[in-house]
């Protein structure tokens, strides 16, 4: 038992020594590896994640009108299976982001805790 404890302590010491000696190099490599990826992310984040400006609202309104017109004309029946699948995935992504946003806003996975003025029925207790 003592020998196993000594081996475990030795393993811990070797791990700490390795982390202390190799840690700065690994951190530097992580910074070098992540800099181009983060710069690309921030470039696209500045472009794509900004709220719409008032100048963009007429284009959005025109897009909605075109969507409604094409729906009335039945153009959705001319969509390929691949396009329909992509549209389905986009709709699912929007729905999932909505539900995740709701959970973040509530700070809970469970639904809202609504207090009632009415007493609970006897069969629920």
Domain limits, the chain: 1-50, 69-109
The whole-number pLDDT of residue 93 equals 96
DSSP secondary structure string, the chain? -HHHHHHHHHHHHHHHHHHHHHHHHHHHHHHHHHHHHHHHHHHHHHHHSSPPPGGGHHHHHHHHHHHHHHHHHTGGGG--HHHHHHHHHHHHHHHHHHHHHHHHHHTSSS------SSPPPTTT-
Q: Which pLDDT value is given to residue 116?
A: 78
Mean local confidence (pLDDT), 34-59 = 89
Classify the C-alpha dihedral 77-82-88-93 as positive or negative.
negative
At residue 54, the pLDDT reads 92
Residue range 75-121, pLDDT digits in tens: 888 989 999 999 999 999 999 999 999 888 888 887 777 777 888 77
Mean pLDDT across the chain: 85
Residue scoring higher pLDDT (118 or 9) = 118
Which pLDDT score, from 0 to 100, does residue 3 have?
76
Q: What is the mean pLDDT of residues 25-31?
A: 83
Q: Which residue has the higher pLDDT, 59 or 50?
A: 59
Rounded Cα distance, 50 and 70, in Å: 28
What confidence tier does 125 reach under pLDDT thresholds 50, 70, 90? Answer: low
pLDDT > 90: percent of the chain: 34
Range with lowest mean pLDDT among 6-15, 45-54, 57-66 = 6-15
């Amino acid at each position: 038992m003592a020998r196993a404890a000594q081996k475990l302590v030795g393993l811990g010491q070797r791990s700490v020594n390795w982390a202390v000696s190799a840690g700065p190099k690994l951190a530097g490599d992580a910074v070098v590896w992540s800099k181009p990826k983060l710069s690309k992310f921030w470039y696209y984040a500045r472009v794509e994640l900004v709220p719409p400006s008032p100048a963009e609202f007429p284009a959005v309104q025109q897009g909605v009108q075109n969507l409604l017109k094409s729906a009335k004309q039945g153009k959705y029946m001319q969509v390929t299976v691949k396009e329909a699948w992509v549209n389905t995935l986009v709709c699912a992504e929007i729905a999932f982001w909505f539900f995740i946003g709701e959970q973040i806003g509530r700070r809970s996975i469970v639904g809202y805790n609504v207090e009632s003025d009415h007493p609970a029925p006897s069969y629920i207790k």
